[in-house]
Amino acid sequence: MRRQWILLLGLATLALASASAWAQDEHAPSVSFQVWLEGLRAEALAEGISPKTLDEALAGVAPIPRVIELDRSQPEKTLTFQQYMERVVPNSRVDKGRQLLRENATQLAAVREVFNVQPRFIVALWGIETNFGQYTGGFSVIASLATLAHDGRRSTYFRGELLNALRILEDGHITPEEMMGSWAGAMGQSQFMPSSFVSYAIDFNGDGKRDIWNTKADVFGSAANYLVKSGWDGSQTWGRKVHLPAGFDHSITNLKISKTLADWQTLGVRRANGKDLPRVTGMKGSIIFPGGKGGPAFLVYDNFKTTLKWNRSIYFAMAVGHLADRIAGR
């Protein structure tokens, strides 16, 4: 009997501790999900979303505990630059990218004709974001965004994304059942957040829908449109590995410092094979060490910085450039 009381007391103490921890969580929602959902519905109606769309999109929507868990969790360890590149740009992905570059050459050429974005970069982004459309996420975008918008950590941001997602449904580009994505609401083969979809997704094949889930022409065109509107220059590449001379001033190696290629040449910077840098009048670049000082140095151009507008990770932008080069046999 005594042991039973001790067990019950222990369980009660644990329950109280968990409740106390939740109550003290600064991100805990201040109102119930159903009350919050009614408020969201009223706001969406006021912004022109139809009752029919809201009924279809919000029917049975409930918080997803796994989404909160993923939002709260932090990576157990940080990959080194070399580990990241090996994981994200394996030979298998390079081979698949080359195959798909050939198979989709006609559509990619049509996209380039309109946007002047080199096909190898579109294929590289496609490959890194979703392994060429194979892994687009298994979460309902509406349910995930509702979970995060109700939660207190970044509620304002995700509420806006949820309203944008409802507008996408209202416009008929996709059905609620097909609107699947990552736990954080990134959607389709290009992994656009709803706000990015609204700003950059296009109907490249002219069927009346901007379908980044199932239509490759729209996936490619939307990616190119995003890059161009973010500053992409189709006449330039992303960057290259370089060799620095002995005694080089490392205080000038960061993305905020940009010099012409002629200036870097004067300072002794050369291609990795020791040859001169390209002679392109006025073209600028910055020198970075993605793996840290002592690791390989790269001279990156404006297109690299444009890729950072897609994803702010230096590792991500390096992987896109590296995969694009390898797909093209460079």
User: Is 20 a residue whose pLDDT tops 60?
Assistant: no
The predicted pLDDT at position 103 comes to: 98
d(CA 151, CA 146): 8
The predicted pLDDT at position 282 comes to: 87
User: Is 292 a residue whose pLDDT tops 70?
Assistant: yes
pLDDT digits (tens, 9 = 90+) for 217-274: 999 999 999 999 999 999 999 999 999 999 999 999 999 999 999 999 999 999 999 9
CATH fold of the domain at 34-72+136-210: Helicase, Ruva Protein; domain 3 (1.10.8)
Mean of all residue pLDDT scores within the chain: 91
Both tokens of 20, joined, read 């106390």
The predicted pLDDT at position 330 comes to: 86
Closest to 54 measured CA to CA, from 167, 155, 196:
167
Q: Which amino acid is residue 139, in one-letter code? A: F
User: Is 13 a residue whose pLDDT tops 50?
Assistant: no
Distances (CA, A) of 285 to 11, 163, 256: 61, 39, 10
Sheet holding 270-271, edge to edge: 259-260, 284-288, 297-300, 239-243, 270-271
pLDDT digits (tens, 9 = 90+) for 164-206: 999 999 999 999 999 999 999 999 999 999 999 999 999 999 9
The predicted pLDDT at position 32 comes to: 94
d(CA 235, CA 229): 15
The secondary structure of 67-133 as a DSSP string is: HHHHHH---SSPPPHHHHHHHHS-HHHHHHHHHHHHHTHHHHHHHHHHH---HHHHHHHHHHHHTTT
Distances (CA, A) of 293 to 50, 80, 261, 287: 55, 13, 21, 11
**Average pLDDT, integer, range 210-219:** 97
The predicted pLDDT at position 51 comes to: 98
- In this structure, of 19-33, 194-208, 261-275, 315-329, the range with the lowest mean pLDDT score is 19-33
**Average pLDDT, integer, range 5-22:** 38
The predicted pLDDT at position 318 comes to: 98
The predicted pLDDT at position 28 comes to: 65
More confident position, 3 or 174: 174
Work out the pLDDT band at 26, boundaries 50, 70, 90. low
User: Is 7 a residue whose pLDDT tops 70?
Assistant: no
Q: With pLDDT > 90 as the criterion, what percentage of the chain qualifies?
A: 85
Find out whether 108 and 328 touch, Cβ atoms under 8 Å: no
The predicted pLDDT at position 284 comes to: 96
User: Is 112 a residue whose pLDDT tops 50?
Assistant: yes
User: Is 23 a residue whose pLDDT tops 80?
Assistant: no
Q: Which amino acid is residue 276, in one-letter code? A: D
Distances (CA, A) of 254 to 4, 246, 286, 294, 297: 64, 18, 6, 14, 11
User: Is 39 a residue whose pLDDT tops 90?
Assistant: yes
The predicted pLDDT at position 294 comes to: 83
Pick from 5-14, 17-26, 189-198 the range whose average pLDDT is largest.
189-198
Q: With pLDDT > 70 as the criterion, what percentage of the chain qualifies?
A: 90
The secondary structure of 245-312 as a DSSP string is: -TT--GGG-STT--EEHHHHHHTT-EETTSPPPP--TT-EEEEE-TT-TTS-EEEE-HHHHHHHHH--
The predicted pLDDT at position 6 comes to: 37
At residue 181, φ and ψ (nearest 5 deg) are -170, -160
